[in-house]
Chain A
């Protein structure tokens, strides 16, 4: 299949009638087609539930984080944006917990490898994506702020595709 090269007729070479024909296509589009742009700041863009946005740390029923500080998310992260200090909570039912858990969202590339690697469904990327700020500190998500991000997802729901809706964990 070879692309054809047109020979312009005199009429087409005159150019003005062709302009009008082109304008006709544009006008037809204007009349026939509905609006395709979205008025962004007024109407936020609706993203699917599995959109990879801001992280959250999922809680146990008591309000404590579910994370057991196994550090698989650190290992899986290609951008090295997660840092963690593990400690013994002194609670016989929990072996280890993250004393500090920090995500540098300026380094994060939102690949979702952390939620895929997590063996206890403790971290997840929520569909929330509007967290711009003027200050650098606002992008450092500490453990408390990550637990606070649970408000972006309806309670008891999972948005990630790689995790399950059921839980098999001892809580």
Chain B
């Protein structure tokens, strides 16, 4: 550990362990901080407490089975991870699911983004002392988890789309549920913003805290809301549109100073834009039509066919035993996840399991700048900065 300032001797500094099981670390993050009074002189983040070897496990799981792993990476927005994985494999195989599946996946992505931002902002507000906002936001997230539960059968570990489309169609009242959510969502976001925007405590705790410049952010490899808060209008949904993002209209909110305050309100505005995208998707998506590709080498045939037809039965057994088989090659597919660009790099050798999987998780790059951001801040700001960077340990360590 390097001590940069020499007003105090090294022996006079106090070493503090923050985490790995501290309630404010949002996961098992460990930070060794060197304190000069209450100021952070230096800090060393230690990662790896939640390392589960997901990339290695990918080499032993079939392409569809790996969805259970991506579920557990960023556990605040599992749909985004799952869709990202499916997009990567579909790109590798060169297949395009039918439009209805695409629209539904877009809606699921935006719902997951709202979930992510609600948790992140709610906890961030809670960490700096605004408990009310936390409860209002979690209530909205709860509505979304209920919709996911109805749609997929699970609340968080949804394991939901498959390579090649959706495994089953939407529930009948899906659109009504989402519309009902949107109706209650806008007033709550407005209210939460009103509670915090001019709140002096919140301003004192966030303005100028944890700021990072545009250049430093880019050189660290920032993506997502944290980069946009610095004033860089970079959004993968606009730059390299995937799914149906080129057919919907939305704005990319940016900040100016790159501090906790900007990050908070960039996320708030993004959640609103996500709601806008969902509204347009509900209008534009086709009500009827297939939800998966018509190829039984990729997606399981419907059960009725499996019982009646010999061929469907053979495809069913082949697909369960061998899994989908992309051609040999490699592919990279990134998508705009809750806190940045989530990328999957897959090397395939033509078998049913990936030869190598690499996950580019946005948290990893953001967290690498953590020491630089918190150096010189008070010990109480450590939590505020950590919350506003939205570090998810499950995704950071994989």
Contact = CB atoms under 8 A, between A and B. Distances in A.
Interface string B203-238: 100010000000000000000000001010000000
B149 A51 contact: yes
Interface stretch (B88-96, B251-259, B369-377, B380-388): B251-259
Contacts of B308: 168
User: Looking at chain A's contact residues, is the secondary structure mostly helix, strand, loop, or mixed?
Assistant: loop
Contact of B317 (A116, A119, A169): A119
A119 B316 contact: yes
A22 interface: yes
Interface string A12-51: 1101001000100110010000001000000000011011
Interface residues of A, number: 44
A110 B154 contact: yes
Interface stretch (B36-44, B102-110, B299-307, B356-364): B299-307
Given A12-B198, A51-B153, A161 B321 contact: no
A116 B61 contact: no
User: Looking at chain B's contact residues, is the secondary structure mostly helix, strand, loop, or mixed?
Assistant: helix
Given A110-B157, A162-B167, A168 B200 contact: no
A113 B251 contact: no
Interface string B253-274: 1111100011001100100000
A87 interface: no
Contacts of A109: 68, 157
Contact of B254 (A2, A5, A79, A113): A2
Given A36-B139, A51-B154, A52-B153, A1 B200 contact: no
B331 interface: no
Interface string B131-153: 01000100100100000011001
Nearest to A73: B320
A22 B201 CA distance: 12
Given A12-B200, A51-B153, A161-B167, 15 more contacts: A1-B251, A1-B269, A2-B231, A3-B265, A6-B197, A8-B198, A18-B199, A26-B132, A78-B61, A109-B157, A110-B154, A111-B157, A113-B159, A119-B313, A162-B167
Interface of A: 1-3, 5-6, 8, 12-13, 15, 18, 22, 25-26, 29, 36, 47-48, 50-52, 70, 72, 75-76, 78-79, 109-113, 116-117, 119-121, 125, 161-164, 166, 168-169
14 contacts: A1-B269, A2-B253, A3-B265, A15-B201, A18-B198, A25-B195, A48-B171, A75-B321, A109-B68, A117-B320, A119-B306, A119-B317, A121-B303, A164-B307
